[in-house]
Amino acid sequence: MKLYDNILEKVRIYEDKWGITYAKPDGKLYKFVMVFYVLALIFSIAMNLFFALGISMSETLLSTMKAPLYTSLILIITLIAAIVLTKFKKSIVAAICSFAINALSCVGLVLTFAPLLENEIGGYKASFYWRHLVPLCILLVVNFAINFIALRANIKTRKVYKKIVDNAYAKNHTLIEEDGLDNDEWDEILKNI
């Protein structure tokens, strides 16, 4: 369904008139959460790049740890793809794909680094938590929050938009029934609301 700007303006007026408020993708909450997402992403990418750099500096490590190295580099690329998908705030498919890619990347990175950072007694080194697990969990939770805010705003906007279009249809119902308007004439009515 094509959204007309004049009806979207009426949606904003309707929301202001009735005091309907919610977090929007261009609001302060979204931007605040997005800052956390970008910081956690930069930290996670930096830790993975330091890991790759450390392995590549030693020939013995490089020959024995090629799989974790390539896995971490591939998953860094998928994390970057996830942040690119968050730019499509209005798309439900992009939000779902972004969250799925982010979740798979986080799980993959945890599974890659967990065996490498085990203690002799079976636990994990403290560096595993602050370098990998905590930033990845923050990425996942914040990505969910970003997508939730964007999708909720999209749903709320479309709901009010549909209500306005339904009201226009009800007002022009007799005209539509008598004349049998085609799609172009209906679009012209919507443009002139």
Map out the domains of the chain as residue ranges: 5-191
Angle (CA) 101-107-109 rounded to 5° is: 100
How much is the CA Rg of the chain, to the nearest whole Å? Answer: 24
Q: How far is CA 6 from the centre of its chain?
A: 27
Q: Which residues contact 40 (CB under 8 A, 6 or more apart)?
A: 135, 136, 138, 139, 142
* Residue 142 · residue 13 · CB < 8 Å: no
pLDDT band at 175 (very low <50, low <70, confident <90, very high): low
Tell me phi and psi for residue 182, to 5 degrees: -95, 180
Identity of the residue numbered 9: E
> Tens digit of pLDDT for each residue in 114-170?
777 777 666 677 777 777 778 888 888 888 888 888 888 888 888 888 888 888 888
For the ranges 13-17, 22-26, 146-150, the maximum mean pLDDT occurs at 146-150
> Tens digit of pLDDT for each residue in 50-84?
888 887 887 777 777 777 888 888 888 887 887 78
Say how far apart CA 87 and CA 10 lie, in whole Å: 25
Tokens read off for 186: 């209906």
